Amino acid sequence: MADNLRLKIQNDIFDYVQLFDVLSGFSNIRTKIGRLLASGEIIRIRKGLYTFPEYLRRSPLNPCIVANMIYGPSYVSCDYALSYYGMIPERVELITSMTTGRPKEFSTPIGCFSYRQRKAKDYAIGIESVETPSGNFLIASREKAIYDKALTDPRFDGSNIKEYLLADLRLDEESLSQLNIEALLELRDSASGRMLKLVKALLEECV
């Protein structure tokens, strides 16, 4: 049955509507889905969102694509984005995203996903769309990832900014000097308080 589903469903990640359509010939579709889940022929990522077991996937799942699909609107940011860009030495397991919706946490068979709420007018600044063979995903720019991390990090109070960036976050110092000035200026225009101090300090690193 799993092989037959694989032929009919093109993507490695699919939703309930797609699954329902493929199984429309069965008299009790809900029961059939339950059996497919119990046998491991499909895997539930979250309610209404599924994937195939690893041996049936056409390519490894991209955590950023999955993060965008689990809960939205959202974009990947903070530690995971900083690691994605090679700005911190650690390999990050938790995928943190920013969202305009309520904060959420999802522990799934393919990883843990955290969503932090942003209501500020600068939410849409510094979001990049990345194209991959598996699909597109939204992720914070380097500048926005630092901004989001500091904004949501209780350790950052606006003082000792360089120590926070280099010691607490363990950012690569060379990468700070390569940040995009125009992107930082756009953030500066909407920032205030401790975040304005942060952006000004980052601008000084780029000059």
Domain range list for the chain? 2-56, 63-206
Question: 74 forms bridges with which residues in the sheet?
Answer: 99
| pLDDT at res. 120 | 79
Q: Sort 120 into a burial class: Cβ within 10 Å, 0-12 / 13-18 / 19+.
A: middle
The answer to whether the predicted template modeling score (pTM) of the entire model surpasses 0.85 is yes
Strands, E assignment, 20-133: 43-46, 49-51, 74-76, 95-99, 104-108, 111-117, 127-132
Q: Is 14 helix (H, G, I), strand (E, B) or coil?
A: strand
Q: Sort 41 into a burial class: Cβ within 10 Å, 0-12 / 13-18 / 19+.
A: middle
pLDDT along the chain (207 residues), means of 10: 82 94 88 93 96 94 97 97 94 95 96 93 94 94 97 94 95 92 95 96 88
| pLDDT at res. 1 | 67
| pLDDT at res. 90 | 86
Q: Is 109 helix (H, G, I), strand (E, B) or coil?
A: coil
| pLDDT at res. 195 | 96
